[in-house]
A = this chain, B = another copy of it.
Amino acid sequence: MSHEKKRILILGGGFAGVYTAMYLEKAMFWGERDQYEISLVSLENYMVFQPLLPEVISGTIEMLHVITPIRRMAKRTRLHTREIVSIDLERKVVTLGPEFLPKTKELPFDHLVVALGSRLNYDMVPGMREHAIPFKYLGDALRLRTAIVQVLEEADNESDLAERRRLLTFVVGGGGFSGVECIAELHDFLISAVSSYPSIKVQDLRVVLLQSADRILPELGASLAKYAQNILEQRGIEIRLQTRLSAVTAEGAVLQSKNSTEPEFISARIVVATVPAAPHRLVEQLPVEKDKGGRVIVTPEMQVAGTPNLWAVGDCAAVPQPDGIMSPPTAQHALRQAHTCASNILATLRGTPMRRFSFTGLGKLASLGHRSAVAEVMGIKLHGFIAWVFWRAVYLSKFPGLDRKWRILTDWVLDIFLPRDITEVRIFHADSVSREHFHTGEAVFEQGDFGDKLYVVVKGEADVQRDGQSLATLKNGDVFGEMALISDQPRSAAVMAKTPLDLISISRDAFDKLVTHLPGVKTSMNELFQARMAVVETLSKPPPSNDLPS
């Protein structure tokens, strides 16, 4: 590679980034191929076809068919599948994190295209990061599917009615496109799956959609949104408007309705989060002008004003449409932005005039599962089966790559006459050191429980109880639960959250490794253990006064 080449570097492997690379490849003249070098950085080597992602939940589409390899779409683009550590606009260098070797890698650029999309904002809802299943990436769809089958398996054998109810309750936060399509497919899958679970009936299921606005699908006109709501409600999905998720725990969702001051708790093992969005960490750090949503403000030429070699496209960019409205975060807009961006980068390199982004949207489509959809296309409103056929036809035609089109079509055909898959692929394991959130009054564990973790209080207070009597209060920095790990006995006391409670939990396996090998841990654990044992001995004679549970 000669250093004379102009280097165009694209960050992000979503629609916006990959199509910018594709349009660049297409629009380049034959002679320009040696002059310009296109590189793209994406942690994943595939692009997710987001509109069909919900179908992975129900298993209508095989999980690997909803993604397509980036290097088959953009064949003359150099792909780097690493994490991005930093963007240096001054030095014109992007630094990538290490992969197999513990060495970072620097990619210099002449033109930089930022197409990093958005991420779920976990920080606004306590416990969301720890206990909610996000719904945005392929891994999320897979994790959600696995979790659904897992709760069905447990519920089928559960004799405790409250726990059974909790296992069979599903809460989805967010009533936009993503939340609605997610809950529709989730519900579809549940309905077909329960037939394999002899003790679970359809009426045992509770599926709840939370929407903070006063209607679902605010992206669509009111009449279509109302139609969609009726369809979902007829199927038995509970829709809670003007209600938002205010906290998530391992045992359920805390709801806050606009019409009430009291929070409500819904017992549920599966809580899915589809909102809110936040800018990518690297976009947050970028020293350029942003709108209040944290998106990079660009000109209609997709350029960051004042920085002629910096471009932004897709969900991370605030792109003005000709009608004055900002471009919404959809695939169709990302595609056209990518086209404008690619043309204008080449125009800049060639010294020819640039073009302006002039797309205002073709229409809007939302699948409601169960062979039903709503659509608003060029002013025409469609709903029901017709809209659903239209929905499938549009997305199949838009799916990149002939091979994937074939595979998806095959999936759809097989889905007509083969049963839904109910295998639970347990490939996700809980991390050995993780955070947990509990709401006021919730039990961290009960007396007599199996002891598999040690906890450290990070924030909030917890009450230690034995046989219903309060023994002690735990605060920030307090360690508990280690005695069950050391002595291999059931929990000798219960621990209840007195306030909203954040904990760090350490698994038995990691605890064993740490105690054995990390200096300081063994000593302090020994001291703690001796102190506890002394208390326990005192307790066995007079009435209890103060104790910490094992």
Residues of A within 8 A of B (CB): 43-46, 62-64, 67-69, 71-72, 78-81, 97-105, 138-139, 142-143, 149-151, 153-154, 156-157, 163, 167, 196-197, 250, 269, 403, 406-407, 410, 414, 418-419, 421-429, 431-433, 435, 445-446, 449-452, 456, 458, 477, 479, 491, 504, 506, 509-510, 513-514, 517-521, 523-525, 528
Does A520 contact B517, Cβ atoms closer than 8 Å?
no
Does B425 contact A414, Cβ atoms closer than 8 Å?
no
Does B99 contact A154, Cβ atoms closer than 8 Å?
yes
Does A520 contact B510, Cβ atoms closer than 8 Å?
no
Chain B: CB-nearest residue to A156: B79
Contacting residues, chain B, for A504 (C-beta < 8 A): 513, 517-518
How far in angstroms is the closest Cβ of chain B from A132? 15
| With contact pairs A69-B421, A504-B517 given, residues A43 and B433 touching in the complex (Cβ less than 8 Å) | no
Contacting residues, chain B, for A519 (C-beta < 8 A): 477, 479, 524, 528
Does A433 contact B197, Cβ atoms closer than 8 Å?
no
How far in angstroms is the closest Cβ of chain B from A427? 5
Does B423 contact A64, Cβ atoms closer than 8 Å?
yes
| With contact pairs A43-B426, A422-B69 given, residues A98 and B450 touching in the complex (Cβ less than 8 Å) | yes
Query: How many Å lie between the Cα of A64 and that of B504 in the bound state?
Result: 35
Per assembly, the copies of the chain total 2
The 9 closest A-B pairs by CB, nearest first: A520-B524, A520-B520, A102-B449, A46-B423, A403-B418, A456-B517, A433-B510, A81-B153, A45-B424
Contacting residues, chain B, for A142 (C-beta < 8 A): 427
Does A451 contact B102, Cβ atoms closer than 8 Å?
yes
Chain B: CB-nearest residue to A46: B423
Does B72 contact A196, Cβ atoms closer than 8 Å?
yes
Contacting residues, chain B, for A71 (C-beta < 8 A): 196-197, 422
Does A425 contact B64, Cβ atoms closer than 8 Å?
yes
Does B427 contact A103, Cβ atoms closer than 8 Å?
no
Contacting residues, chain B, for A450 (C-beta < 8 A): 97-98, 102-104
Contacting residues, chain B, for A456 (C-beta < 8 A): 517-518
Contacting residues, chain B, for A446 (C-beta < 8 A): 102
Does B424 contact A427, Cβ atoms closer than 8 Å?
no
Contacting residues, chain B, for A44 (C-beta < 8 A): 423-426
How far in angstroms is the closest Cβ of chain B from A130? 13
Does B517 contact A452, Cβ atoms closer than 8 Å?
no
| Known A139-B427, A520-B523; 8 more pairs at CB < 8 Å | A45-B424, A68-B423, A71-B196, A99-B154, A427-B428, A431-B432, A432-B432, A433-B510
How far in angstroms is the closest Cβ of chain B from A139? 5
Chain B: CB-nearest residue to A430: B431
Chain B: CB-nearest residue to A445: B102
Contacting residues, chain B, for A432 (C-beta < 8 A): 431-433, 510
Does B62 contact A64, Cβ atoms closer than 8 Å?
yes
CB < 8 Å neighbour of A157 from B78, B150, B513: B78
| With contact pairs A100-B167, A102-B452, A427-B139 given, residues A525 and B520 touching in the complex (Cβ less than 8 Å) | yes
Chain B: CB-nearest residue to A152: B45
How far in angstroms is the closest Cβ of chain B from A268? 11
How far in angstroms is the closest Cβ of chain B from A546? 19
Does A479 contact B418, Cβ atoms closer than 8 Å?
no
Chain B: CB-nearest residue to A250: B100
Query: How many Å lie between the Cα of A150 and that of B304 in the bound state?
Result: 34
How far in angstroms is the closest Cβ of chain B from A493? 13
Contacting residues, chain B, for A518 (C-beta < 8 A): 456, 479, 504, 506, 514, 521, 524
Contacting residues, chain B, for A510 (C-beta < 8 A): 431-433, 510
Chain B: CB-nearest residue to A458: B517
